[in-house]
Amino acid sequence: MPYWYYDKKDLQNTPSFRDGISTETENRYRKEGARFIIDTGSKMDLGYNTVATGVVYFHRFYMFHSFKTFPRYITACCCLFLAGKVEETPKKCKDIIKVAKPLISEQKFSTFGDDPKEEVMTLERILLQTIKFDLQVEHPYGYLLKYAKCLKGDKSKLQKMVQMAWTFVNDSLCTTLCLQWEPEVIAVALMFLAGKLSKFEIVDWNGRTPKHNAWWDMFVEDITMDLLEDICHQVLDLYSPQTQQSGGDSPTENTTKQTKNEKKPPSITPPASASPVAPVVSKPVTTPLKNGGESKPEPPKMEPLRFSYPSYPGIPFAPPVYSAPPPGAMHPVPAHVPPHSVPPHSLPPTHPVPPPHPVPPSHPPPPHTVPPPHTVPPLSYREPPPSHPRFGTPVSVPPPNYFPPMPTRGPLHRPLLPGPPPRPYYPPP
């Protein structure tokens, strides 16, 4: 199976970066595509596993393709369409497009082409080949609930911490954490972050042993504080004011003004998602240095690109050529004529007789030249001719399935009856 986890240097050398898109712009495109999948799945009442699977497909797809080649919104619809079938919550392609259309502007929806359904269905084959048909994806949600059941403490505080950690897992889909770490590590790090922000300190847990320094040592080994803090900072950067500024549009779009359809739709995160935001903004957070600043060069504007496939040339029309004789050309032997009363020279020929007035092959015959259908008398079959005199009398050969009678094997067995008489055999002439 393919290995879907990359180093940070690999995440900064993606096909989009080599295609002229900066790392900061690519991260914004990933965030917008992931949020688009979450909002579309929320309006279609899809489960969190289906939405998360679609977002993971989205991130993996752009590790092999550029945002300039494949627009992010049509790719997002394709990922959600495939994730619905994988997670056994399928939705029709036309329904996904119908729900997704009001979430973006008309200019952005123009990247779907003249036939959006055909574009999504075509891109699905490219998506399957890109992710190498590795369809099963694990998410941190299951590990989050598993780890929470082993913790001890105040039930209300524990429930609040789990709810906050669940919100962080939802928001982490807008980052590339699913391309860096396993879901177990992400679940531990976000529970650690939720415990710090909710001021819930975990001091005891089920199955604790003296060798466990922290509660996560029982589930995942060799997790350092530096690793946990790095994952927490990547999630907290989503709430930073610097990352919430909207930049330019995709290289495949030329829109410059914002319409009412571009307003940010409501998030599917639980109501507790607002709780970690307030303390995070008020506290100074040390975040990794971002590429570029206010004077960063914007990528060059390009004309809208849309992938398409050449169509097969049409088959030229050729007029039909009629070469068979009309239905009345053949004269079968009537049923009332004896078998041997028709001389050989009076029998109809075996080859087809051409029509009396042949029609040029370049034009089909007019409709009035076809004779009306008539009743064909039944055909009669002649008996095989007698054997040639040179073969003499018929040879007596038993039939293929004939076996001679078996002798009796004891007093209890009665003698078998003789078999059927042999049939006359005529050697071939």
Give which of 377, 376, 374, 375 is closest to 334, Cα–Cα.
377
For 136-156, letters b (16+ CB in 10 Å) and e give ebebbbebbeebbeebeeeee
Could you give the CA distance from residue 135 to residue 128 in angstroms, rounded to a whole number? 8
H helix or E strand, kind and range, residue 18: helix 15-18
Could you give the CA distance from residue 27 to residue 290 in angstroms, rounded to a whole number? 11
What is the predicted pLDDT for the residue at 210?
A: 85
pLDDT in tens, 129-162: 999 999 999 999 999 999 999 998 888 999 999 9
What is the predicted pLDDT for the residue at 205?
A: 86
What is the predicted pLDDT for the residue at 57?
A: 97
Q: What is the rounded average pLDDT of the residues 362-369?
A: 54
Q: Are 401 and 357 in contact (CB under 8 A)?
A: no
Torsions phi, psi of 177, nearest 5?
A: -65, -30
Q: What is the rounded average pLDDT of the residues 118-132?
A: 95
Residue 426 has pLDDT above 50, yes or no: yes
What is the predicted pLDDT for the residue at 251?
A: 54
Write the CA distances from 145 to 150, 158, 188, 198, integer angstroms. 9, 11, 11, 17
CA torsion sign, 37 to 90 to 272 to 175? Answer: negative
For 140-237, which CATH class?
mainly alpha
Could you give the CA distance from residue 84 to residue 54 in angstroms, rounded to a whole number? 8
Task: Copy the structure tokens of residue 180.
Answer: 């860096």
Identical topology for domains 8-131 and 140-237: yes
Q: What is the rounded average pLDDT of the residues 4-14?
A: 93
Confidence class for position 100, pLDDT limits 50, 70, 90: very high
Could you give the CA distance from residue 94 to residue 1 in angstroms, rounded to a whole number? 32
Q: Are 187 and 162 in contact (CB under 8 A)?
A: no
Could you give the CA distance from residue 86 to residue 364 in angstroms, rounded to a whole number? 55
pLDDT in tens, 175-218: 999 999 999 999 999 999 999 999 888 888 888 888 888 899 98
CA torsion sign, 148 to 149 to 153 to 157? Answer: positive
pLDDT in tens, 279-315: 333 344 443 433 444 444 444 444 444 444 444 455 5
When the pLDDT of each residue in the chain is averaged and rounded to a whole number, the result is 75
The amino acid present at 23, given as its one-letter code, is T
Could you give the CA distance from residue 228 to residue 192 in angstroms, rounded to a whole number? 8
What is the predicted pLDDT for the residue at 415?
A: 55
Could you give the CA distance from residue 270 to residue 166 in angstroms, rounded to a whole number? 8
Q: What is the rounded average pLDDT of the residues 246-270?
A: 44
Give me the residues paired with residue 423 across strands. 397
SS3 397: strand
Task: Copy the structure tokens of residue 127.
Answer: 């998506």
SS3 423: strand
* The CATH classification of domain 8-131, taken from the options 1.10.1740.10, 1.10.472.10, 1.10.10.10, 3.40.50.300: 1.10.472.10
Residue with tokens 């009856």: 417
Q: What is the dihedral of CA 308, 312, 317, 321, to 10 degrees?
A: -160
Could you give the CA distance from residue 69 to residue 424 in angstroms, rounded to a whole number? 82
Which residues are CB-neighbours of 344 under 8 A, at least 6 positions away?
none
Residue 369 has pLDDT above 60, yes or no: no
What is the predicted pLDDT for the residue at 29?
A: 96
Give me the residues paired with residue 151 across strands. 205
Q: What is the rounded average pLDDT of the residues 81-86?
A: 96
Percent of the chain with pLDDT over 90: 48
What is the predicted pLDDT for the residue at 287?
A: 39
What is the predicted pLDDT for the residue at 24?
A: 93
Q: What is the rounded average pLDDT of the residues 13-37?
A: 95
Lowest-confidence region among 34-43, 158-167, 341-350: 341-350
pLDDT in tens, 162-172: 999 999 999 99
Give which of 32, 44, 35 is closest to 87, Cα–Cα.
44
Q: What is the dihedral of CA 337, 339, 342, 346, to 10 degrees?
A: 100
What is the predicted pLDDT for the residue at 246?
A: 45
Task: Copy the structure tokens of residue 187.
Answer: 């679940």
H helix or E strand, kind and range, residue 424: strand 423-425
Where along the chain do its domains lie? 8-131, 140-237
